[in-house]
Structure 1
Amino acid sequence: MKLRSSLGNPSPADGVQFIENVIFPTLERCRSLVSEGTIVAGGPVIGAIRLVFMVESENPKMLEDAIMQLPIWPLAETAVVPLTTFGDRKMSVDGLHETIKKRFS
């Protein structure tokens, strides 16, 4: 999640307002999500207005709800990359492996 570059060059007063109304509340909400166990890893990117984190979610709606609760969300570009487990990937590759072996043996 990173701040859209289309926000332009704010005045110092706008910058103060942005920090107080968006950045601080977003960081506080992220800390709450960490305490709740929703955010399980990650944090702010050094030198940028950008967040990278891993979320534990039972379903896509819970994930979307967590992201939409962040005050920065309407101003940010968000990329979600779903992950699987190493065990599930192994099972998928096992099936593919067997199919290829049968087809070309």
Structure 2
Amino acid sequence: MKKYNKLVRDLIPEIIQADNKKCKTKIVEGKEKEIYLENKLQEEVNEYFQDKNLEELADVMEVLFGLADSLGYTEKDLIEKRNEKLKLRGGFKKGIILEEVN
């Protein structure tokens, strides 16, 4: 059996079982879940850097939603905070590089 010991999407065990395979899982909570989510975020960001596509960006977003939940926030809370900061400080679409301030 191949060992993974990493966080996977919620339906992965069912998908594996539907393929007539067996898997061993465990549920993590609290700080341990947060650590696994942070590791998953790093994994997904690295995959984005490698492939640079919308699917990898969506994976990064899903992990961010998981982290928000782990910290006691909803997806809506995260999006509202993003929109609040967007309104107050703007986004990153213009590609502005701050070189210096006098």
Q: Name the TM-score, length of structure 2 as normaliser.
A: 0.33
Higher relative contact order (CA 8 A, sep 6+): 1
- More strand, by proportion: 1
Q: Which is greater in Rg?
A: 1
